[in-house]
Amino acid sequence: MKVLLAIILAAAVGYILGSCNFAIIIVKIMKGEDIREMGSKNAGLTNTYRCCGPVPALLTLIGDLCKGVVAVGLARLIAGGLHAGFSPDNDTQYIGYIAGLFAIIGHVFPCFFQFRGGKGVLVGVASFLMVSPRVFLCLLLIFIAMLAISKYVSLSSIMAALYCPLATLLVSWIDCGASFGRSFLYMLLSLPMAAIVIWMHRSNIERLMNETEPKFDFRKYAGK
pTM for this entry: 0.90
Report the distance separating Cα 77 and Cα 100, nearest Å.
14
Strands (E), the chain: none
Q: Give me the tens of pLDDT residue by residue for the chain, a chain 224 residues long.
A: 888 999 999 999 999 999 999 999 999 999 999 999 998 888 888 899 989 989 999 999 999 999 999 999 999 999 988 888 776 677 788 999 999 999 999 999 999 999 999 898 889 988 998 999 999 999 999 999 999 999 998 999 999 999 999 999 999 998 887 889 889 999 999 999 999 999 999 999 999 999 898 887 666 555 55
- 147: amino acid identity, one letter: L
Q: How far is CA 168 from the centre of its chain?
A: 15
Angle at alpha carbon of residue 35, lines to 16 and 64, rounded to 5°: 40
